[in-house]
Amino acid sequence: MGAEAATPPGGAEGGAVSRRALLAASAVGLPVLLAACKGVRALGTPPPPAPNIIELRSAIAAEELMLARYAATLNLLRSQPAGQPPRLEPAIQAVHVEHAAHALQLKARLIEPAGSALALSPTPTPSVSAGPAGDVTAQVGALEQAEQAASDRLISQLAGLPPSLAQLFASIAASEATHVSFLQAARRVR
């Protein structure tokens, strides 16, 4: 290697750095230094959540919506207790408790990196109207349809989930399918 190659571009001589070389180096390095001063946000938005986190949050939101629908139906039922099938209210209460357990287990598995886009926006508690006034039967029929749809949706989301989460989804899907026949039976008893 010759002496020329050891001389930095810009004309350093005898180990000294020229003013022009310093200015050139500053121009290149400045944006990087500025970015570093702004912290992590300046490097870009947080990475998107993993697919299983999206599925998990969707399942939690579905359970919370179901909880709100059952609470609304219970309120409607309690406002008109006369003439209702006697097993309906305890059945709705029992299913409500199971949905609360589903939501709890799903939330226990939700571990999101701090600062992720979804973690920064909490889901609002859903509010559900009681539906057609006085129509408990229609309301419970709608719950049965929602249960079946939720069961099917969970099974359709299994691909790609980690094994233990897939097992939880499948078990909840099975539970929600049983709610359909359980509610139907409670409606029939007079």
Partner 1 sequence: MTGSAGHALAALQDALAAEQAASYGYGVVGARLPQGSAAQAVAGSDWVAHLRAQDRLTELINARGATPAPAAVAYHLPFPVDSPAAAKTLAATLEDRVAAAYLGLVAQPEPELRRLGAEQVRAAALRAEAWRGSTQAFPGLPEASLRR
Residues 161-180 that bind partner 1 (CB under 8 A): 163-164, 166-175, 177-179
Closer residue to partner 1 in complex, CB, 130/150: 150
In angstroms, give the least distance from the CB of 124 to partner 1. 24
Site for partner 1 contains 184 (CB under 8 A)? no
User: Positive or negative CA dihedral for 158, 168, 48, 126?
Assistant: positive
Distance separating alpha carbons of residues 106 and 176, to the nearest angstrom: 14
In angstroms, give the least distance from the CB of 46 to partner 1. 26
The stretch among 1-9, 10-18, 20-28, 154-162 that binds partner 1 (CB under 8 A) is 154-162
Site for partner 1 contains 150 (CB under 8 A)? no
Closer residue to partner 1 in complex, CB, 35/101: 101
Closer residue to partner 1 in complex, CB, 18/87: 87
Please, what is the Cα angle at 55 between 168 and 59, to 5 degrees? Answer: 65
Site for partner 1 contains 98 (CB under 8 A)? yes
The residue with tokens 């939690």 is 60
The SS3 call for residue 16 is strand
Closer residue to partner 1 in complex, CB, 79/181: 181
Count of residues that bind partner 1 according to CB under 8 A = 31
* CB atoms closer than 10 angstroms to residue 120: 10
Encoded amino acid at 82, one letter: A
Closer residue to partner 1 in complex, CB, 41/188: 188
158 with 166: CB under 8 angstroms?
A: yes
Distance separating alpha carbons of residues 178 and 182, to the nearest angstrom: 6
